[in-house]
Structure 1
Amino acid sequence: MSIPNFLLLLVATAASSSFTGAHAGVACAPEEREALLAFKQGITGDPGDLLATWKSDEPDCCRWGGVQCSNLTGHVLELHLGDGALTGEISHSLLSLQHLEHLDLSLNNLQGPTGEIPEFLGSFKNLRYLDLFGMPFSGAVPPQLGNLSKLYHLDLSS
């Protein structure tokens, strides 16, 4: 194998392993783990056991279902919680996930504190994907969502 081909293979391998669902890198940051546990406390119903692996005795939240982290930093980058029939409230604790790029809460029965889309969702500086399809929100879309300058996918449809 020539050196350029070897380097290409090395770069491709490193890139693909940085964001895999099967986490094998650095453990998640303690404050991000606590934020996810606080989010789980706001969930009053989880009929599909989507959050069953989210346990306080599991120190690495990167191994929890629906959570994807960077293998390099351990920061939570993605939450895939769509189509889980979750009920409850979307907790402000998610704001501790400062590196979050992908948030899928679609097809759940989650609400903000007032029944509207939570304004704090506009505070995720790195968010690229936000899916709230099928959520039971009422009221206007908060203007704070306009602060999501990196967003390329937004679904607020019912």
Structure 2
Amino acid sequence: MSAAPRTSPQGATWDRALLILLAVLTASMVLATRQLIVPFPQNAAWFESSALFPSLMLALAAVGAVVEAFRRRLPQPTTGSDELDASQARIGLAVAILVLFGLYMWAVPQLGYMSSTLLFLLSSSRVLGFGWRTTFALSLPMALAMWWVFAKLLKVHFGHGIWL
């Protein structure tokens, strides 16, 4: 059995540079999470910290970007599989969502968890190209579910914004 020929994806250098930028931005935001989330309760248990979820998601994004940049360093085999082709990923969208996530982290203590989560979900859905009907159908129930899980069930402290 012979190995499939390996080919290099087009634009691999540009994509790797954007992936490294994504990893650096997300890692920086992980380190700045405590400063971005104000007021940050120092005496809250780790699972009740308002920085837990953003830190975990940003760390996951940073690790994913580094892994993908490393994978794109080597030519990938061409196969006829139905798996997702990471070389087709739109890194610009990932950076845009990262910027929205940073604004979301800033907005939570200013506006409140529920309203800022809803605004984040609405804006990120539109950036990703969802139609208005789909955007509202996904964003409203998801914002309510996340508010219930984090604020009510897990009792995560988010401070008091001007709205919910």
TM-score by length of 1: 0.30
Question: Which structure features the higher share of strand residues?
Answer: 1
Larger radius of gyration: 2
